[in-house]
Amino acid sequence: MLHIGIITLFPEMFNILQQGVSGKALEKKLVQLERFYLRDYTQDARKTVDDRPYGGGPGMVMMVQPLRDAIHAAKKKLGEDTLTVYLSPQGKPVYQQQMVSFVESKKPLLLIAGRYEGIDERLIEQDIDQEWSMGDIVLSGGEIPAMAIIDAMIRLVPGALGDETSAKQDTFEDGLLEYPHYTRPRTLESLDVPEVLLRGNHRDIIRWRLKHALGRTWLKRPDLLDKLTLTSEQIILLQEFIEEL
Ligand code: 4FV
């Protein structure tokens, strides 16, 4: 079972995960989510978690003590082999294969969602194992990146998705963008569904889907293609796609 802890000032934000696929996985106990409310680990009556930055400047910085105590409490519950991750724009951008590998590792994960200007550097140096980033944008907190990561991981837990294979056929699963999808009606404002998808020949459909996954990746995300070593069949399909363009 995937065991994830979150240290946050807004635990109720994670109620969103009770909807949809993640909600079902929680009900089926395929994943266990533990929320640690940071203010529960403060030592003053006002439950202070932040203070002014040394050196001056705008905003506030999150203090070490409440975060450190929350991390220790969380690791007691999750296990000492927990990977402690701080969400931050300074982190390594997350990517799908990283999610796959982590879920396969079956290790517990502790996510720390920062607020304000961020957290005291000394906590990062001493108590954080890794910093992960959701992308080169600046958010008001790490909660939404944490939720995105939890959602991406839950989908990979066996049994979380109705059809086991759909997590495997996802975009990025084989390093490619996904092929185009169509559903009823068959004709929409004179735009038809590609004929090959209607004929029901599975070999042709698989071939068409791989060709368009390769073609779309070439068009939209050539950087992903650079990371792959294409088979001779994939090279032929991509060339076919480019010629048809
Ligand atoms: C972020 C990101 C992010 C920065 C200051 C929270 C905010 C505030 N986290 N990927 N991009 N965090 O913008 O993970 O504390």
Q: Could you read off the pLDDT of 101-141 as tens digits, one per residue?
A: 999 999 999 999 999 999 999 999 999 999 999 999 999 99
Distance 242 CA to ligand 1 centre (A): 39
Ligand 1 close to Cβ of residue 8 (< 6 A):
no
Per-residue pLDDT for 85 more than 80? Answer: yes
Question: Residue 222 catalytic?
Answer: no
Cβ within 8 Å of residue 81, ≥6 positions away = 107, 108
Instruction: Please choose from 88, 111, 143 the residue to mutate so as to test ligand 1's pocket, defined by most ligand atoms within 8 A of CB.
Output: 88
Give the Cα-Cα-Cα angle 158, 162, 164 (nearest 5 degrees): 45
Q: Which atom of ligand 1 is nearest to the CA of 116?
A: 15
Crossing angle for the helix pair 202-220 and 232-244, nearest 10 degrees?
Answer: 70
> Helical H runs in 62-95?
64-78
Asked if residue 116 has its Cβ within 6 Å of ligand 1, the reply is: yes
Collapsing DSSP states into helix, strand and coil, what is residue 143?
helix
Residue type, 89: P
170 is a catalytic site residue: yes
CA angle 42, 43, 47 (to 5 degrees): 50
Give the least confident one: 63-72, 121-130, 165-174. 165-174
Record: fold of 174-244? Trp Operon Repressor; Chain A (1.10.1270)
Domain 2-154 belongs to what topology?
Answer: Alpha/beta knot (3.40.1280)
199 part of the active site: no
Report which ligand 1 atom has the smallest distance to the Cα of 139. 13
- pLDDT value at residue 144: 98
Please report, for the chain, the start and end positions of each structural domain, with discontinuous segments joined by +. 2-154, 174-244
CA distance linking residue 114 with residue 119, whole number of Å: 7
For residue 114, the CA-to-ligand 1 centroid distance in Å is 7
9-18, 166-175, 179-188, 196-205: which range is least confident on average? 166-175
216 is catalytic: no
Instruction: State the Cα torsion 37-41-47-52 to the nearest 10°.
Output: -100
The reply to whether 174-244 shares the fold of 2-154 is no
Active-site residue among 170, 173, 174, 178? 170
- Of 142, 156, 154, 149, residue with least CA distance to 23: 154
Task: Note the pTM of the prediction, 2 decimals.
Answer: 0.93
Task: Let me know: does 34 contact 77? Beta carbons within 8 Å.
Answer: yes
| 137 in contact with ligand 1, CB cutoff 6 A | yes
Query: Which whole-number Å values give the CA distances from 29 to 1, 170, 214, 243, in the listed order?
Result: 7, 23, 37, 49
